[in-house]
A and B are shown apart, each in its own frame.
Chain A
Amino acid sequence: MAVQQHKFFRLLEELEEGQKGGGDGTVSWGLADDDDMMLTHWNGMIIGPAKTVYEGRIYSLKVDCGHRYPEYPPMVRFVNKINLTGVNSSTGAVDLKSVSALSRWKNSYNIKMVLQELRQHMMMKENSRLSQPPEGQVYSN
């Protein structure tokens, strides 16, 4: 029970930070549904980094912090279509292991970090020039 509370407060902190605009303005996150008492379903947003093909785009993500978060990483999925290594091209699901900074998940990691590292991932040489689908398309699930 105490563990649950701990997780809850932890998520609450993340919620608060998201609302206060934590990070440097290039990522944003928050509860997807205000009535979500379990604080599991989150929205994430990544602003495409400059000097990459992602520049100028705003990527929406869904982050699901299951009941095993933060011991286990959340499930992350892109909403907007993106061509990025580690992202399933038909569902948008992100394989966190392909993002080097997240491949070994620690419970000190949080949603902000997931988003920021994904953004960094976009800037890597192997990704920064991948041709992208036109803006506005979303994964259909």
Chain B
Amino acid sequence: MAEQGAADLGNNNNNKPEASEGTIIKVTVKTPKDKEEIAIAEDASVTQFKEEISKRFKAKQDQLVLIFAGKILKDGDSLSQHGIKDGLTVHLVIKTAHNTSASSSTSNQGGNSTTSSPAANPITSLSHRLSPAGGFGDLASLAGLGMGSANFMELQQQMQRQLMSNPEMLSQIMENPLVQNMMSNPDLMRQMIMANPQMQQLMERNPEISHMLNNPELMRQTMELARNPAMMQEMMRNQDRALSNLESIPGGYNALRRMYTDIQEPMFSAAREQFGNNPFSALGGNSDSGAQPSRTENREPLPNPWGPPNSSNPSESGGGTTGSTSTSGATNPSVSNPLGVNPGSMFNSPGMQSLLQQISENPQLMQNMLSAPYMRSMMQSLAQNPELASQVMMNNPLFAGNPQLQEQFRSQLPIFLQQMQNPEALSVMANPRAMQALMQIQQGLQTLQTEAPGLMPSLMTSGIPGVPTGGAVPAENPASSPRNGTVRDHTHILKLPPYQTPEVRFQTQLDQLNAMGFINREANLQALIATGGDINAAIERLLGSQPS
């Protein structure tokens, strides 16, 4: 036995017990998350056992609570006293107040001032001195703080600075019992927020915020968020994603910006003053997240916020401006769509429509819109859901009041949508000059329509749904258009969502031309298109261009 002891003493291996008198027994130490087998002397004391455990689980000894057979093992006891023998299991709880599951291998926060940054210390001392309910009101005890700063505001600022630079410290602070106590009390939080005069102003200006604050569910969620950095990240990611979606809608950016300046900024500065961290960044963008985010990171792909199901009631949109927060549409906000944006209603809103007009005036905007990666998937979902697309299109101002047009357009939708996905078409749209040309042609067509309505009945229907519908691409089944590249562009333009391909439309004329001896089908078609189906004019064109 003594030899064993000597050998053991010389050995730094963690597996060997320190006090090595008596036989070694192997005891399993089990936490809800983890399990380790620890070898310890049979007659060791609980303290010694805890020393071993502290090493293995990387936790402080005084945080360890050992339970065996329903009893808490006190330091002064011995293992044998409790009947702990080889092969038995002891339960371990690592007390990091509010962290019930003993996180063995994960880093142990517990608010202990293990960091060197001075700001951490006040928190720990605070936890000993202040009662949670007192919040930060009890300045007297601050006198004992290591920082030597009697001014609490200064303290806070320093803390903030530290926090900003050291994210790990943030998580430490979060773990701290005082902070957590505070945060788990929604009433307290609300009081603190409201106490800030800036916030009060903000609340007056934006009743939504006060509504948000008064919603205990939301507060609780936010606080849980703040506590759980992984969840926090997830939320932020969702939010960023949703924001970027919004940004990609023309006008959405403006709305976003408005939202930010009205709400977020003052809120941020107010919140920053008080807390120095960003649990409220989520709050700021997240008015009324009704859904319960899960605690764990959501590894499923985010649902497509532009997905079809939301469009079921665009007429109910009532949702004033685009991108507005919880007041928009009837959609329930979900985690991935925190602003409760209902894409269907967004398109229908007057704001959107005016923006569509703006787009037509500003090709650059169009380009921006298109370049947003999300546009593509939106197109796809539009393509997949003709109903949504039709609703979107129907409410376009150009269509309003022209049911015939709508009908035609509706029937053309599938083709149209496919065309939208044609990258070439998209690149045309992205080209501002092309867009301008498109505009001009459209205007020309319109003039023509008013001047000579009988002349081009078909062109009228196809020409009008132009660019402003947010993507009225030169949509044409490429097979039917002439192969010539440059000409194709023009013909594409002219054939803006056609309800019939020119070939079909001009079938009779084509036949006639063929009968007359004009055998160049392509040239015929071009001519017919250029003249809008007027055979005589087409013949003249053909004669003019053809050498014979």
Chain A residues close to B by CB (< 8 Å): 15, 18-21, 24-26, 28-32, 34, 42-45, 47-51, 55-58, 60-61, 63
Q: Which residue of B lies closest to A57 (CB)?
A: B100
Q: How far is B83's CA from A31's CA once the two chains are assembled, in angstroms?
A: 10
- Across the interface, B67 reaches (CB within 8 A) one of A45, A48, A63, namely A45
- Closest chain B CB from A79 CB (angstroms): 10
Across-interface contacts of B91 in A (CB, < 8 A): 21, 25, 28, 45, 47
A31 and B65 form a contact (CB under 8 A): no
Known: A42-B70, A45-B72. A25 touches B31 (CB 8 A): yes
- Across the interface, B98 reaches (CB within 8 A) one of A19, A56, A58, namely A56
Name B's interface SS.
loop
Within B57-82, the residues touching A (CB, 8 Å) are 65, 67-72
Q: Does B88 contact A (CB under 8 A)?
A: yes
B70 and A61 form a contact (CB under 8 A): yes
Mind listing 23 A-B residue pairs with CB under 8 Å?
A: A15-B69, A19-B69, A20-B88, A24-B32, A25-B32, A25-B33, A28-B69, A28-B71, A28-B91, A29-B69, A30-B68, A30-B71, A42-B70, A43-B70, A43-B71, A45-B71, A45-B91, A47-B32, A48-B100, A55-B98, A56-B96, A56-B97, A57-B100
Q: Does B90 contact A (CB under 8 A)?
A: yes
Q: 4 nearest interchain CB pairs?
A: A30-B69, A21-B89, A43-B70, A29-B70
Q: How many A-B contacts are there with CB distance less than 8 Å?
A: 82
Q: Does B99 contact A (CB under 8 A)?
A: yes
Known: A19-B83, A20-B89, A56-B100. A44 touches B70 (CB 8 A): yes
Across-interface contacts of A26 in B (CB, < 8 A): 32
Across-interface contacts of B69 in A (CB, < 8 A): 15, 18-19, 28-31, 43
Q: How far is B97's CA from A23's CA once the two chains are assembled, in angstroms?
A: 23
Q: Does B367 contact A (CB under 8 A)?
A: no
- Across the interface, A58 reaches (CB within 8 A) one of B32, B33, B65, B89, namely B65
B70 and A30 form a contact (CB under 8 A): yes
Q: How far is B71's CA from A30's CA once the two chains are assembled, in angstroms?
A: 7
B70 and A58 form a contact (CB under 8 A): no
B32 and A55 form a contact (CB under 8 A): no
Q: How far is B71's CA from A50's CA once the two chains are assembled, in angstroms?
A: 21
